[in-house]
Structure 1
């Protein structure tokens, strides 16, 4: 069953990468994402030993047949206090699938549906990781080309805004979809201290990458490599937003990074401190 939902999820991913307002891929992506979601929820109940909770019953006893998808979805949300997706948007996929498959209706371009499809992929991946320690996405050390697809980007930014505590602009693709791997990983190669981009599916090593408030524009978008120290406790950095790229300094006491122009900086015994308290 795992192979089934993973295959449909991967096919959906491929379809989204080729989807635009000018082709028919959206309806195929919608159908495949609904199938991937249904198979994933069934896999979740089987893997966690709760499959009898979603089986049909005869004379009060479970039989070897699953409930309808809408019942399984309702049960999942009834037994959880929080989720990486909205039930109504996941249910919409079933309505779209039924309209296409059972009623022969051809789905027209729907920007909201496109975002829901992308969010469903993240719902599956995040839920699989948090509850089962599995992932359907893959860590790309170079930005994945799907990050250039406006549909995927819109869905990634939308999901990040709703379900991630902190979101940063990605150093590679610029999308506001970079977040801590504490929320979701791309695969098991990520540690929870890493940063991952939901748009271009790349990651940054959180053991040495730092993201600071920019001293110029004040956005939390100033990146630096904490392992690349220069003379006088300085580090090279750059703001993704305003492109400011002056050196920042690391305090000799508290190890915080700060801009050298700070009025509170103290030079004592050839060492730099962010404030008088640290210098004392």
Structure 2
């Protein structure tokens, strides 16, 4: 499933094509994706100008000039592509992506200053979804009610994590994957952040907090590592594992700099370590780490 850097990359790719454009028609080629599409989705978007595109955790938010917001989630295989009416899909393709029309489920027909274009949502597995809500009701949207701070926002700090970790015996990896603790942080980047901060994914979170509830130095290092790995991934355009592609058709390249994720059996890249990257399973998900240097 695309993680926060992938969704941010999609947002940045769509913004030039969608912001300021009028949705002349929203074409729904099926009635459902993972969930039924809202029955009034096409009606509420038709004729509306797109004010801005933003992101909350792994959700793309399309703000309209009537106060509504389209909430889109890419699921496992969802992607957007931008097509101008007089051209083919832009971008140099490193891997062929789905172009089968039976997987083109939602089409935004757009117009801006006389120029028309289409933004097409394609999803072979149909695990993605779209909803529409009033912008004033976003905080009440079920998926957003208990989300933690963004890993790129000012709210994420070692003090905040200490307040969530104090007295808890939960393994560090599973705590970081909890969207109520940090919004949008997924399996890949948790593994990479733990390697950067030399912390074991099995370590109990309470061990990173002092008896007085203050963050230990290790927790400060972890917080910095989370911020850095997300920033680096966004800069590289995401990881692009399996189905993920950017809106111009190219793939991100952060996967080429993975230090532990999907590197089972390889030498740890920590200087002077000499350990081997291992794979364990935590809560049904693969965890990659070096037992020697991550304590």
TM range, normalised to the smaller chain?
under 0.3
Between structure 1 and structure 2, the one with the greater Rg is 1
TM-score, length-scaled by structure 1? 0.25
Q: Which has the larger helix fraction?
A: 1
TM-score, length-scaled by structure 2? 0.24
| Higher RCO (CA 8 Å, separation ≥ 6 residues) | 2
